[in-house]
A and B are shown apart, each in its own frame.
Chain A
């Protein structure tokens, strides 16, 4: 498992692309700006359409740079928010598991087994990891299930999932009731 939070690739690519375009466009803007200034000083071009076209192109380029900067700031803000959200969710999930395990009065070794079950390992692998017999793990997992008041692995997962989806679940039930009433 990788502890580094993976932010959406799309956003990261978008941010890099925006930054590159900002720099290239700023370089173009500076180039045209210096040309406009040179033309302005030369005085002879002031009556030509070319001069005004070039001036407005420069202005548009500069405005574009500023607009892209605002875009980039938005993308970065979103990435930072997502980053914080993921971190908080991960911390909360760990807390929820800890709370449930303590509530069910699991012993330390039962907690170990319970965590490994939640991480998706089968009894045999758990036995190998813990250096115990498969029968011991089976007995321990049965005790975990009975203390949690569930019959199977899947139900153990659903207890935790339900906690995470509590609000939505409530909403769904509400809607079901509403539908059956009508």
Chain B
């Protein structure tokens, strides 16, 4: 008798999972660009180094382009694909607890909140960092405090983001890190997609 491997045609194997092109190259480049800028400023260069400033400005431009792309970008990159809605996040949490395995092609409702949270935090860090370099805000205590508080909050958010990605990969079986690398989400068959 034939084993499945021997006579499965492409379609049969394609039926086990389905690849959907989700993240365009701009989204991916911005994601890993922001990651490298944060890494550079958090772990590599000194606070008073000029590279710290340039990495910060670059990060601001990356986030600005991403926000523009959220208005006029591709389907899954647009804000309308992942609206910031705490109620949807709550009902999503409830659904997970009941064993719902729905896969979201864009960010899931809980992940969406994290995305907006990280963008806001990055903008706050960038803006206060920029203010520290201006004449009128140089050495002002509250600006520096906000810069550092926002940075602490960013670290917490990044940790939560990574935990969320690991958890969702385990729960839904969609390898999310690979999706952010090559752009395609591999969705197992027989899972509802939203």
Contact = CB atoms under 8 A, between A and B. Distances in A.
A30 B72 CA distance: 19
A22 B65 contact: yes
Contact of B62 (A23, A93, A94, A131): A23
A44 interface: no
A166 interface: no
Given A23-B26, A90-B10, A90-B14, A73 B2 contact: no
Contact of B19 (A5, A65, A69): A5
Contact of B73 (A18, A26, A73, A80): A73
Contacts of A69: 26, 68-69, 72-73
Given A79-B21, A112-B2, A23 B10 contact: no
A19 B21 contact: no
B129 to A, nearest CB: 14
B19 A4 contact: yes
Contacts, number: 89
A3 B14 contact: yes
B168 interface: no
Nearest to B17: A3
B126 to A, nearest CB: 12
Interface in A1-46: 1-5, 7, 15-16, 18-20, 22-23, 26-27, 30
A57 interface: no
B2 A130 contact: yes
Contact of A72 (B11, B24, B30, B64): B24
A76 B24 contact: yes
A112 B8 CA distance: 10
B25 A15 contact: yes
Interface of A: 1-5, 7, 15-16, 18-20, 22-23, 26-27, 30, 65-66, 69-70, 72-73, 76-77, 79-80, 83, 87, 90-91, 93-94, 112, 115-116, 119, 129-131
Given A19-B26, A23-B30, A76-B24, 17 more contacts: A19-B28, A20-B25, A23-B33, A26-B61, A26-B64, A30-B60, A69-B68, A70-B72, A76-B21, A76-B74, A79-B21, A80-B74, A83-B20, A83-B21, A94-B11, A115-B9, A130-B1
